[in-house]
Structures are given as C-alpha cells and as structure tokens.
Amino acid sequence: MLKGKTALVTGSTSGIGLGIAKALAAQGANIVINGFGDVDGPKAEVAALGAKVAYHGADMSKPAEIEAMIAYAAEQFGRVDILVNNAGIQHVARVENFPPERWDAIIAINMSSAFHATRLALPAMQAAGWGRIINVASVHGLVASAEKAAYVAAKHGVVGLTKVTALENATTGVTCNAICPGWVLTPLVQKQVDAKAATQGISNEDATKLLLGEKEPSMQFTTPEELGALAVFFCSPAGNNVRGVAWNMDGGWAAQ
C-alpha cells in the first residue's frame, strides 16, 4: 500500500517508534529511523521486512539537527511522505521539585521537536498533494497524572499542534493526527515497573498489576504492533478524511 512512500520515524530505535517503523515497512514504505543506542539491530529488523532503510542520529532537542535529518531523508529517498513524531523522554517529580533543566529538555524533545519536524516536512507534502503527519502523543495528552508536569504539558501541546496542523491543511491531501497510548511496555515503562517492584519489595508481575490497575481498566499493555497498525490505518485511503483526531489506545483509561 505504501510502496514508493518514505516514512521518517523519530525515536525509532526501540519501543513504540520501532513498532510503527516496522508496520510502515511491512506496507512497502522506505524508512528513515532515528534515535540512540543500538542502531544496527533496529535497522536489520526493518530491512528484514523488505524495506529500504536509512538512519539519522539527530538530537531531537536541536532544531538544526532536525533540519539536517529532514534534508538527509530527502537526499536518500526524495522527500518525507509520512512523518511520525515519536521521540520522547520522561522525568517524574512534583512541580515544586521539578528540575528546570529537565522541564526544558522534555518540552524540547517531546513537543518542540514535533513542531520543527512538521514545519520542515510540510512544504514537500503540500507540493506533492499527499502527506501524513502522525504525532505520538499519549493518554497524558488528554488527562493528567501527578508528578508528570512537563510530560503532561508537552503531550497536551502535541495534541494542540496536531489540531492546528490538521486545520491548516484541511483542504489538501495532507492529514495530521495524534495517537494517544496508555501504558505500553517500552524500556521507559519497564523502568517504572522495576522501580515500583524495588520500592515496594514486590515481584515484577505484582508491580505490573499495580501499575495497570491504577489507570488502565483493561489490565493489559497496548503493544507497539497495535500502535503500528493504527499508524498504517491513518496512511490508508480509509484515513483520507480523518483529520485532527487524538485517538486514544489506552484500555479505557480516559473513559473513566
């Protein structure tokens, strides 16, 4: 379905980003991955699906590096047809104890990077008459949790950016939508499970049940594969008039 299209997925060397990159690759898209840590492993996983794959290590807190990444994707494959803004970090603390430098870093990587990548990718999409911008927000773009001020603020901002981008391109072939996952068992969330198990002296299994039980009625993690399938839907003909939505995949979290 996506043969000849190019998808750039930020923060895609693991977790949600890698799951979405693989789902788009399976539909025939060329893939540009981005992130840190192991690069060869994720590249091989995407290439195994028959996709052409490239990597750019842009630091998503730096607009100049984001600009270089968009230019690199265009050099490799012509243009970015599908932009998935997924890069994100987390820090947990009460507002009065929140380190200002952590606030700045989370706003830069979780929200501002989506703006910079979007503004740079849009002109080529508009010229081509087709494009998909998919912002990986969070259920925390819809509701809040204590001790996550920067993350919640950033993700609410991403949902707002999604709506504006969609409205500004509403009469074109370019759509913009947000995916709002609940708990997804990524390395970031595994750290929270491990911390809960350690502080409460319980097993990882019990810590997982506690974590899910606090927020997610389904008592199950959303998977990167499920999020990838939703991204594919947004890119399909059925998604042509889906514009500006914040689609939660959260096991009923926001329905409470």
Element (H, E) at 211: helix 204-215
* 72 catalytic per annotation: no
The structure tokens listed for 89 are 């970090």
The structure tokens listed for 249 are 């995949």
Give the single-character DSSP code of 50: T
Residue 42 contacts residue 12 (beta carbons within 8 Å): yes
DSSP string covering 8-45: EETT-SSHHHHHHHHHHHHTT-EEEE--SS--HHHHHH
Q: Which of 55, 151, 234, 253 is catalytic?
A: 151
d(CA 169, CA 171): 6
d(CA 15, CA 236): 23
DSSP string covering 157-188: HHHHHHHHHHHHTTTSSEEEEEEEES-B--HH
Element (H, E) at 233: helix 224-235
What residues are labeled active site? 151
